[in-house]
Amino acid sequence: MLGEIKGLNEECGVFALWGHKEAAQLSYYGLHSLQHRGQEGAGIVVSDEEHLHIHKGLGLVNDAFKEGDLEALEGHASLGHVRYATAGGGGLDNCQPLMFRSQTDSLAIAHNGNLVNAHNLKLELEDQGSIFQSTSDTEVIAHLIKRSVYPRMEDKLSDALSMVEGAYALAVMTEGKLLIAQDPHGLRPLSIGKLGGAYVVASETCAFDVIGAEYEREVQPGEIITFDRNGMRSELYATPAERRMCSMEYVYFSRPDSNIDQINVHTARKNLGKKLAAEAPIEADIVTGVPDSSISAAIGYAEEAGIPYEMGMIKNRYVGRTFIQPSQELREQGVKMKLSPVRGVVEGKRVVMVDDSIVRGTTSRRIVTMLKQAGAAEVHVRISSPPITHPCFYGIDTSTKSELIAATHSLEEMREEMGADSLSFISIDGMLDGIGRQDKDSNCGQCLACFTGNYPTDIYEDTLHPHDKVING
Amino acid sequence: MLGEIKGLNEECGVFALWGHKEAAQLSYYGLHSLQHRGQEGAGIVVSDEEHLHIHKGLGLVNDAFKEGDLEALEGHASLGHVRYATAGGGGLDNCQPLMFRSQTDSLAIAHNGNLVNAHNLKLELEDQGSIFQSTSDTEVIAHLIKRSVYPRMEDKLSDALSMVEGAYALAVMTEGKLLIAQDPHGLRPLSIGKLGGAYVVASETCAFDVIGAEYEREVQPGEIITFDRNGMRSELYATPAERRMCSMEYVYFSRPDSNIDQINVHTARKNLGKKLAAEAPIEADIVTGVPDSSISAAIGYAEEAGIPYEMGMIKNRYVGRTFIQPSQELREQGVKMKLSPVRGVVEGKRVVMVDDSIVRGTTSRRIVTMLKQAGAAEVHVRISSPPITHPCFYGIDTSTKSELIAATHSLEEMREEMGADSLSFISIDGMLDGIGRQDKDSNCGQCLACFTGNYPTDIYEDTLHPHDKVING
Amino acid sequence: MLGEIKGLNEECGVFALWGHKEAAQLSYYGLHSLQHRGQEGAGIVVSDEEHLHIHKGLGLVNDAFKEGDLEALEGHASLGHVRYATAGGGGLDNCQPLMFRSQTDSLAIAHNGNLVNAHNLKLELEDQGSIFQSTSDTEVIAHLIKRSVYPRMEDKLSDALSMVEGAYALAVMTEGKLLIAQDPHGLRPLSIGKLGGAYVVASETCAFDVIGAEYEREVQPGEIITFDRNGMRSELYATPAERRMCSMEYVYFSRPDSNIDQINVHTARKNLGKKLAAEAPIEADIVTGVPDSSISAAIGYAEEAGIPYEMGMIKNRYVGRTFIQPSQELREQGVKMKLSPVRGVVEGKRVVMVDDSIVRGTTSRRIVTMLKQAGAAEVHVRISSPPITHPCFYGIDTSTKSELIAATHSLEEMREEMGADSLSFISIDGMLDGIGRQDKDSNCGQCLACFTGNYPTDIYEDTLHPHDKVING
Amino acid sequence: MLGEIKGLNEECGVFALWGHKEAAQLSYYGLHSLQHRGQEGAGIVVSDEEHLHIHKGLGLVNDAFKEGDLEALEGHASLGHVRYATAGGGGLDNCQPLMFRSQTDSLAIAHNGNLVNAHNLKLELEDQGSIFQSTSDTEVIAHLIKRSVYPRMEDKLSDALSMVEGAYALAVMTEGKLLIAQDPHGLRPLSIGKLGGAYVVASETCAFDVIGAEYEREVQPGEIITFDRNGMRSELYATPAERRMCSMEYVYFSRPDSNIDQINVHTARKNLGKKLAAEAPIEADIVTGVPDSSISAAIGYAEEAGIPYEMGMIKNRYVGRTFIQPSQELREQGVKMKLSPVRGVVEGKRVVMVDDSIVRGTTSRRIVTMLKQAGAAEVHVRISSPPITHPCFYGIDTSTKSELIAATHSLEEMREEMGADSLSFISIDGMLDGIGRQDKDSNCGQCLACFTGNYPTDIYEDTLHPHDKVING
């Protein structure tokens, strides 16, 4: 159950638009629909062809933008970002888009993903006199663009990206152009849509639905797309490798109403639940899922297993930023925060509890305990992703290997640790089948690095010990 | 689909506690779990046996209480309230608990429900020299208590309640006592729990689960319960009529993890869905529910009908108080706010859309349209409550009879109005069966007034034309 | 130096307007100019002839009213108030105007001053069934109005005021009328002005200047003035006693640009300084005043004595509500807050330090010490009011007799206590001369109670021990 | 009357501290005392020897820092800044200190003043690949430091400053060092003090008084001072030119309790008033000054002329950021905002109105009109600085030459324009005499550029047309 209880959302969201007079307004709604991808800060930059105007703020899109902020952002093109950040990650400085102004023009840049050679590039750039204001990878790309000797922005960007390695779904804006790019493995989702004559780009397709735009296609691995007065142009800046779409986008990260590479996320999750039921059946009275991200998988499990799906837990919708935390004493007395068991549902029942993933195992243990205290006779844990045994260097915050319970414990040890009556994970093949990317054209691979340790890119020494790295875009 | 899309929650929530040194803190978490019952304001009053201390604020519990506010509320007894109010309802003045200070002692009072003879009582009281600062019914009760000639607070309260008619789950606090009371029909839920040696009272049992308290029993119709140094005492101040629990608490208002009169709300809703499937079957590809309150019923329908349940719509979690509304133009262009269809799920499908209720019909029409625009081949609307044909005078904001679509349209007219391919409501018997109160002891009736017009109390002329009535507790 | 350093402003401010379509806007600016009279809360109620609309908020007028709040207050008549409150005085509940709604009409009421028999009246009213929500004296008057059997509001008010004793400058508003009244001794200032065809009433005339209104006259002791569709009418509800205008309004409380009873406050203070110089001359190098309220007196002293006036201290303008207080340790290390000495001015100089009053003496001691630490060779303290030896029961917060240093210490003891090289107070005659009310018509007395103990009204037992009194209007 | 009415404060304030465990707390109070130098934003960076920690915020120091922000800034050294900015100047991005992080160390930088060759330097730096995030001059200096090949930070800074021209009082902080520097003409004030064993640096000495520190000396033109573990070291990085202290610091900008180069500002102003009285006497009844900055000069004038000083105008203390502006209509009806005349003082009087300076003349005209409307018989305007005929390029916001009334109008034209009965400016010699720098050691020149057009530095073409320049530090 990555992200849900921990309150962490491990990535960022990008939303860009070209050719609509209400670019800022639409970006606001678009970013809003990507809010689950980052709740620490939001920013929008617009171009009115002569200048870039920017507004950024901390917190939710709602908090970062107030009545009047949007009015000030007049322009026909926009680039927006919602940001995930670890604690203490430098406040507004690290908020994106980053904006760089020169005497002649300006450049705004935002991205989702994580570079693996940023540290090395920074050292080199600093040797050449560059100075950095943020700790964001994104600033490295900006410096590389600025130092490129090519005159055309497309070529500058291509030049810059040829030097970076990692995962990125990237957008760059100047007064006259909007450019977007995907890393050669296509590790992060980025889709293109149309809204009348305007172009829209978003990390997830749910942003299209919210503003009434039509889906067009995915940005391809290694592709740079340029929007300007002459419309949209595509070029490849790198030989695309086989696509390695992040599995976790399907498993728990994206919104259920998004389609990632044309596969609906809710449907994929429900199918993961069905596969899981087929692979790991159990006799039980009810199936329940950890809200919100595991509900679809739980319903799939229930359907396949022929066991009723019930609301065994409920998530508190109102636990906001200013929520006063209970003291340790009250917490021990049983004050619950984000998740409550439904005693009337689980009492005396044999419960299948479906969760999307296990990282450190602490959350699962807490939920099992909570269900048993609420009277569950048995709790059978079913996980709709394979065991996570390796850290992710591409933007998912699964921290270091030593903290991953599946990297250090056997299945039985894990079961015991969390106090479950049984525990099963879906198999890698089951997951691939469930999501169903293989059924599509050839370029449909998934990144499985966190399950297998086979990373699609090189991994650098100091990525492995990321002592001074605080921010993933 | 009462309440969900409209952003209206039609009642209030009461939470009280006796005998715990962290009374204010626990009330904060308790009120938090009742947040769905009122989002316009929150207040807590505590007693340290010598004085009452109060803090109230507008908005969510989160917003109304900040770090430090709770520390200032030292005491072993507390009385809290979350409030629903119509627009313009007077701000903090109408926020509860209301507090009345005399030279010798203080009185705090809060309630959930609506009196039907408040207007007449106010006129009489004013004739006798009383002045009113709020437009709340609650203030009437306070005046009646104050004017009672009985010396004991229990008798004063009993005296006061003998004059009022309507629905109320009420709590009163003085320096030395906490009293709670139910109207003689028991129209609103109010439960008692225990937390170690302390007593807890709440509008819904979910508040017990959140703080780790154990359910004890319901407050009975016509009962006054007093908590003081001598513990808990009960007395009847009125001959209890047969209980008439509000049906809507089960249908859509309460939280699914609450038990109302020992019946779990999720389970009741799921059973309503099953009954509905049995009463109004249809050939379809998927079943979907309007989030959040209709999900349980939709799952029940799916299970009974053997049709897969899918997430056909998604509710945006982040549409807060400060959300910038789209301009009319953008709304017409298709910018969605709180609810989005899941195109990948509904496209090309025959959809059963389960909703909990229909008031004016406009929301249902909007959802049907939205689903069809997202590609649904057919949309069959199934409503898990009977047609609402009469206004509620007891606290549910279903406005006037002329606005109730079911009061003025035939079933076929309604279906056409909302553009559905078919439309069915559960029957009254189906609803009673589904909720299952009849299977319990004899005193288990439900209020069916909004479906039948048979009101359990007298209704007064000016309740029917509530021109000057703004606030229901 | 009452009020200045302590951050206390001991009274309230009233501003009312009849007959201008921008009544709320103008009240905002009017209250703003009365801000020094109360910084704890502000409120405005307007009438559009059919309804009263109210907005109140805590803090400065700036904080209590935001863009949009004024727009909502449409009406041609308004009644506003800024409020002073002691710590813990109940928040918004005690903020004025208080508003009382009955089934047939509404009543708003605000006042400046303090009743001396409020406690007794409350006891009686409670015996008759009245309940109180605030601890404000003002609520007592509202109850008395409500209980009056007279049909005309003027007579109701007159009836009510015949029962209260103390100091009050009062305003009452109904849908169709604005009424103002003065206590029979005229202890608090209240002036009438005209703005085109509209009438304005304010605690100080500076409010007229700010909105461009012309001064007309004072409200007379014992007078009730009614504004309604028929214009302005006056009647006496009590035999007026000789006027006893509060001396402290001249000495330190009012704004220097106000005229109290047609005497300019700055001029009065400068004359106090001159009298003081004549009564208590001293050889010195510079004269300085404690900002802001003692500057005028200091300039007068300097002029009369022929010693240069210098800025020996400076007041920090930016110490706001959210200012982070220095820790005790830092304070001891010398971190200054509101007042700093000007070392370059006082170093090596014999300094006459003029202050407006001495209450407890602690502030004076602190200032003398500060000046000496900044290098002053001698510090001669000159006070432009006589020694305060008795508490005020009419609204000035000079606390109990035992805390008044002049009530318990000889002049020499006081001088020693504050470490001054010499200390003199103006004489009572000198003060009366300086202010100059005697030069006017016969009805020009001043209240001297705090200097002499001769109170113009009866004083009640429990006024002397105001254990349960928290709020003065 | 620069700055007062316009609400503009044209410079910035710097406060730094080395060697005190409560560095952040003390910086907060220090910045607070410099608040008049910049109200748009505030920031503090501290070093704990291992890392730099920063907090910045918009608005007053009060608003930018909340309880808890200071606690997070642990360290023994600090660098703080309050910032003045023109409208739209980019928000927090331009707030100082600017912070630059490299892989090995960090750099914070803040300054007061304005570079005249920043534009050219930016163009060169961009050609070499530098990118800029702010529009602040300060960022240019940071790039120059970063690109310097010297290993020692002192030499890097010296190297960087050798390339810039203009006015700057600068502070730079790394993990291990605090460096401060003055431009070779010493155009901006910067003083050093001691607080026990700690060193303090501030734009004005009032910051020393507030925290109880002792004044030590001025930072000399062309001096770099380094504070580190080995204490304080000084070196000259440039041949110091004769000092050219900004005249306007004395005339209106600094706080009266500050000493600029050991001359007290209040005393200097009072002397300016005396000189002015001697140079331009007039028969009149009262002297008044425009608050706050012209009060001292007015008192000086009054003293010298033997005419009584009176409070002819009053400044409203409570017009804050959120003040609701009166509509144009209300303004025309006479609603006053920041300044009110004291009718009781000026009515029928011949008034000498002393102001500190005239820029565009609009404010003076408004004040003369206001005084006449309040009944002044005559208004004689006396200005305590010479006519401003040339723009300032060093940080004082007197805008372009064409807007300076004294650059385009004769004395008589100006008098007529503002409706005064007479108008006189102090002479340049009178000003030099009044301030009295000539009486000191040889290096005591003042910058007179705005009166004479003799700029102490070269002026660059695009400084003269500062189309893209928004921010002065």
Pairing of strands B378-383, B422-425: parallel
What is the pLDDT at residue A68? 82
How close, in Å, is residue C468 to chain B by CA atoms? 8
Please identify every residue of D annotated as catalytic. Answer: 12
- The parts of chain B modelled with pLDDT lower than 50 are 1-10, 86-89, 465-473
Mean pLDDT of the D333-343 span: 84
Which residues in chain B are closer than 8 Å to A315, comparing Cβ atoms? none
What is the pLDDT at residue B290? 95
Question: Residue D299 and residue C303: Cβ atoms within 8 Å?
Answer: no
Site from A101, A139, A141 to mutate, D interface, most D CB atoms within 10 angstroms: A101
Question: Residue A303 and residue B299: Cβ atoms within 8 Å?
Answer: no
Higher pLDDT, A349 or D330: A349
* Lowest-confidence pick of B79-88, C399-408, D344-353: B79-88
Question: Residue D134 and residue A101: Cβ atoms within 8 Å?
Answer: yes
**Which is the catalytic residue, given B12, B95, B206, B444?**
B12
The answer to whether residue C7 scores a pLDDT higher than 50 is no
Which residues in chain D are closer than 8 Å to A129, comparing Cβ atoms? 128-130, 143, 146-147
* Lowest-confidence pick of A280-294, C124-138, D18-32, D326-340: D326-340
What is the pLDDT at residue B462? 60
Q: Which residue of D has its CA nearest to A121?
A: D103
For residue D215, what pLDDT band results from cuts at 50, 70 and 90? very high
For residue C442, what pLDDT band results from cuts at 50, 70 and 90? low
Place of tokens 């910032």: D83
Judged by DSSP in three states, D262 sits in coil
Q: How many CB pairs below 8 Å do chains A and D form together? A: 71
Mean pLDDT of the C72-101 span: 81
Task: Tell me the C-alpha distance between A36 and A289, whole Å.
Answer: 19
Q: Does B427 touch chain A (CB under 8 A)?
A: no
The annotation status of C447 as a binding-site residue, yes or no, is yes
What is the pLDDT at residue D105? 85
What is the pLDDT at residue B17? 98
Question: Residue B26 and residue A335: Cβ atoms within 8 Å?
Answer: yes
Q: Which chains touch B (3+ CB pairs under 8 A)? A: A, C
Question: Residue D102 and residue A131: Cβ atoms within 8 Å?
Answer: yes
The answer to whether residue D87 scores a pLDDT higher than 70 is no
Mean pLDDT of chain A: 89
Question: Residue C130 and residue B129: Cβ atoms within 8 Å?
Answer: yes
Cβ atoms of residues C449 and C390 within 8 Å: yes
How close, in Å, is residue C400 to chain D by CA atoms? 31
The answer to whether residue C36 scores a pLDDT higher than 70 is yes
- Out of A119, A123, A143, whose CB is closest to D131? A143
Q: Which residue of B has its CA nearest to C91?
A: B55
- Out of B212, B316, B342, whose CB is closest to A256? B342
Question: Residue C131 and residue B100: Cβ atoms within 8 Å?
Answer: yes
Question: Residue D93 and residue A99: Cβ atoms within 8 Å?
Answer: yes
- How would you class A348 by CB atoms within 10 Å of its CB: exposed for 0-12, middle for 13-18, buried for 19 or more? exposed
How close, in Å, is residue D29 to chain C by CA atoms? 8
* pLDDT winner (highest mean) among A231-235, A322-326, B92-96, B236-240: A231-235
Annotated active-site residue B12? The verdict is: yes
Share of chain D above pLDDT 90, in %: 70
The answer to whether residue D448 scores a pLDDT higher than 90 is yes
What is the pLDDT at residue A169? 96
* Lowest-confidence pick of A251-260, A463-472, D362-371: A463-472
Higher pLDDT, D329 or B471: D329
What is the pLDDT at residue C396? 75
The annotation status of D206 as a binding-site residue, yes or no, is no
Q: Hey, what domains does chain D have and what are their CATH numbers?
A: 13-241 (3.60.20.10), 259-451 (3.40.50.2020)
The annotation status of A450 as a binding-site residue, yes or no, is yes
For residue D334, what pLDDT band results from cuts at 50, 70 and 90? confident
Q: Does C135 touch chain B (CB under 8 A)?
A: yes
The annotation status of D293 as a binding-site residue, yes or no, is yes
- Give the DSSP H or E segment for B401: none
For residue C40, what pLDDT band results from cuts at 50, 70 and 90? confident
Q: Which residue of A has its CA nearest to B263?
A: A344
Q: Which chains touch A (3+ CB pairs under 8 A)? A: B, D
Site from B63, B65, B209, B317 to mutate, A interface, most A CB atoms within 10 angstroms: B209
Under 8 Å CB-to-CB from D435, ≥6 apart: which residues? D247, D250, D263, D268, D271, D272, D446
For residue A351, what pLDDT band results from cuts at 50, 70 and 90? very high
Per-residue burial over B200-232, b = 16 or more CB atoms within 10 Å of its CB, e = otherwise: bbbbbbbbbbbbbbebeebbbbbbbbbbbeeeb
The answer to whether residue A10 scores a pLDDT higher than 60 is no
For residue D396, what pLDDT band results from cuts at 50, 70 and 90? confident
What is the pLDDT at residue C462? 59
Q: Which residue of A has its CA nearest to D90?
A: A54
Which residues in chain A are closer than 8 Å to D142, comparing Cβ atoms? 131
Q: Does D133 touch chain A (CB under 8 A)?
A: yes
Q: How far is CA D6 from CA B447, D2, D263, D338, D398, in A?
A: 67, 7, 27, 10, 11
Mean pLDDT of the C84-113 span: 78
What is the pLDDT at residue B327? 83
For residue C399, what pLDDT band results from cuts at 50, 70 and 90? low
The answer to whether residue A217 scores a pLDDT higher than 70 is yes
The answer to whether residue A13 scores a pLDDT higher than 80 is yes
Q: How many CB pairs below 8 Å do chains B and C form together? A: 70
Judged by DSSP in three states, B110 sits in strand
The annotation status of C444 as a binding-site residue, yes or no, is no
- Out of B259, B321, B329, whose CB is closest to A344? B259
For residue A441, what pLDDT band results from cuts at 50, 70 and 90? low
- How would you class D426 by CB atoms within 10 Å of its CB: exposed for 0-12, middle for 13-18, buried for 19 or more? buried
What is the pLDDT at residue A396? 75
What does DSSP assign to residue A202?
Answer: E
Q: DSSP letter string over C299-338? A: HHHHHHHT--B---EEE-TT--TTPPPPPHHHHHTT---S
Tokens of C411: 């002049």
What is the pLDDT at residue A398? 63
Mean pLDDT of the A183-199 span: 96
Instruction: Return residues 256-275 of D near C (CB < 8 Å).
Output: 256-257, 259, 263-267, 270
- How would you class B407 by CB atoms within 10 Å of its CB: exposed for 0-12, middle for 13-18, buried for 19 or more? middle
Q: Does D319 touch chain A (CB under 8 A)?
A: no
Separation of CA A431 from chain center: 19
Q: Which residue of C has its CA nearest to D59?
A: C318
Tokens of C395: 């609204």
Please identify every residue of A annotated as catalytic. Answer: 12
How close, in Å, is residue A133 to chain D by CA atoms? 4
Share of chain A above pLDDT 70, in %: 91
The answer to whether residue C99 scores a pLDDT higher than 70 is yes
What is the pLDDT at residue B11? 72
Strand-pair partners of A41: A58, A83
What is the pLDDT at residue C439? 60
Q: Does A320 touch chain D (CB under 8 A)?
A: no
Which residues in chain C are closer than 8 Å to D295, comparing Cβ atoms? 311
Question: Residue A259 and residue B26: Cβ atoms within 8 Å?
Answer: no
The annotation status of B206 as a binding-site residue, yes or no, is no
Which residues in chain D are closer than 8 Å to A147, comparing Cβ atoms? 129
Q: Does D342 touch chain C (CB under 8 A)?
A: yes
For residue D88, what pLDDT band results from cuts at 50, 70 and 90? very low
Q: Does C101 touch chain B (CB under 8 A)?
A: yes
Q: Does A239 touch chain D (CB under 8 A)?
A: no
The answer to whether residue D23 scores a pLDDT higher than 90 is yes
Q: Which residue of C has its CA nearest to D257?
A: C342
Q: Which residue of C has its CA nearest to B468?
A: C103
Question: Residue A211 and residue B333: Cβ atoms within 8 Å?
Answer: yes
The answer to whether residue C2 scores a pLDDT higher than 60 is no
Mean pLDDT of the A368-390 span: 96
Strand-pair partners of D16: D79, D201
- What does the pLDDT look like over C233-243, one tens digit per residue? 999 998 878 89
Q: Is C216 left (phi over 0), alpha (psi -120 to 50) or beta?
A: alpha
Site from A131, A136, A140, A149 to mutate, D interface, most D CB atoms within 10 angstroms: A131
